[in-house]
Amino acid sequence: MTKIMLVRSTGLNQRMIDEVISTHRGVDYVVVEDSKGAIYDKVKGVSGLIGCPRPLMKAELIREASPTLRWIHSTGAGCESFFFKELVESDIVLTNGKIIQGPEVADHALALLLSLTRNLCYYISGNKPDTLPRPVELRGKTAAVIGGGGGIGLLIAERVSAFGMDVIAIDTEYVHMTSFIRQQADASRLMEILPIADVVFMAAPETYLSHNLFNHTAFNAMKKGAFFVNISRGPTVVTDDLLAALREGKLAGAGLDVTNPEPLPEDHPLRFMSNVVLTPHVAGPSDWNRQRSFDLILKNIGRFISDTPLLNVVDKRRQY
């Protein structure tokens, strides 16, 4: 009999667990809390593992679950901590929450940008200078969306296009042809696109290719007075280089839901800059995100037990 472990800390409440059990019968379900002891002690013989917290996803767990474990599902979109040798080189299929987190994270990215362009950052912080810069309207401006072909990047493109922006989607993959993307560019053209973008959104996953992608060279290539918004992962940016670009006036402002380190030290200079909007990695939650996450889990359990290809499979070697 197929044995699947459900970890409660992923947002699975009792109603959802009951629905899983009643929908997909003939499965041995192991429901555990999110502690290492609860998971590691009961993972032997499990073939599917749903919702193990990132800090507990280690080589030790893979060894404990061998040789029966065939599927791991991470409810979040980011799974950079999963790419250790024992998992990458195994036959275990990894799925995650990419795509389904698009609406709320795209909304958050726009909220960060509008806080900057409409000078809300000065009023909210109470740190309003005697002379404010003129607010910036988005109509007619150019937005570069890094990771523009992903579930978050595409919805950022959709939203800023509705504001009248010209959108350039930058991705390693071919981007869907939509009415709200004017141009698409391979990631190798990043330095060619940055000088013409008024706003740059970082929406690509953290991989070996995107780690420290935004460094001194990238910020130096950006248009003077551009805005930078990061709702991806903190380590995609060299924080000191971002700080320098802001201090030197290269950038007009930055909206950051993620930082490196995270959280920033209480005395970090970015916390005291009036043209920086910081939120503590909260772009993901919404009133619907947990239901979408559960719907995906429910569908994938059905696919797993019927030996049908799973949804949202992660390429473990490409790291997304």
pLDDT at 143: 98
Pairwise CA distance, residues 170 & 221, whole Å: 16
Pairwise CA distance, residues 202 & 14, whole Å: 36
Cα-to-chain-centroid distance, residue 95: 14
Helix axes 151-162, 102-117, angle to 10 degrees: 40
Is 80 exceeded by the pLDDT of residue 127?
Answer: no
Mean pLDDT of 34-60: 94
Same-domain pairing of 26 and 108: no
Task: Give the residue among 209, 203, 206, 199 at the shortest CA–CA distance from 175.
Answer: 203
Same-domain pairing of 244 and 134: yes
Is 90 exceeded by the pLDDT of residue 126?
Answer: no
Same-domain pairing of 115 and 254: yes
Same-domain pairing of 152 and 240: yes
- On the question of a cis peptide bond just before residue 309, with omega within 30 degrees of 0, the verdict is no
Same-domain pairing of 258 and 295: no
Total residue length of the chain:
320
Is 90 exceeded by the pLDDT of residue 281?
Answer: yes
Question: What does the pLDDT look like over 232-259, one tens digit per residue?
Answer: 999 999 999 999 999 999 999 999 999 9
CATH number, domain of 188, equals 3.40.50.720
Same-domain pairing of 118 and 266: yes
Residue 85 is assigned to a structural domain of this protein: yes
Residue 78 is assigned to a structural domain of this protein: yes
Give 131's pLDDT tier (boundaries 50, 70, 90): confident
pLDDT at 294: 95
Same-domain pairing of 27 and 92: yes
Same-domain pairing of 131 and 266: yes
pLDDT at 155: 98
pLDDT at 216: 98
Cα-to-chain-centroid distance, residue 142: 22
Is 80 exceeded by the pLDDT of residue 19?
Answer: yes
Mean pLDDT of 22-35: 94
- Helix/strand/coil for 47: coil
pTM of the model: 0.94
Mean pLDDT for the chain overall: 95
Give 34's pLDDT tier (boundaries 50, 70, 90): confident
Same-domain pairing of 83 and 190: no
Is 90 exceeded by the pLDDT of residue 290?
Answer: yes
Domain that holds residue 65: 3-99+287-305
Residue 316 is assigned to a structural domain of this protein: no
Is 80 exceeded by the pLDDT of residue 11?
Answer: no
Number of domains in the chain: 2
| Amino acid code (one letter) for 185 | A
> Quick one: DSSP state of residue 237?
B
pLDDT at 124: 86
Is 90 exceeded by the pLDDT of residue 193?
Answer: yes
Same-domain pairing of 207 and 67: no
Q: Which of 1-10, 153-162, 215-224 is the least confident region?
A: 1-10
Residue 52 is assigned to a structural domain of this protein: yes
Residue 203 is assigned to a structural domain of this protein: yes
Same-domain pairing of 67 and 119: no
* Contact (Cβ atoms closer than 8 angstroms) between residue 183 and residue 168: yes
Residue 269 is assigned to a structural domain of this protein: yes
Question: What does the pLDDT look like over 299-320, one tens digit per residue?
Answer: 999 999 999 999 999 999 999 9
Residue 257 is assigned to a structural domain of this protein: yes
Give 125's pLDDT tier (boundaries 50, 70, 90): confident
Residue 320 is assigned to a structural domain of this protein: no
The percent of residues above 90 in pLDDT, for the chain, comes to: 91
Same-domain pairing of 66 and 179: no
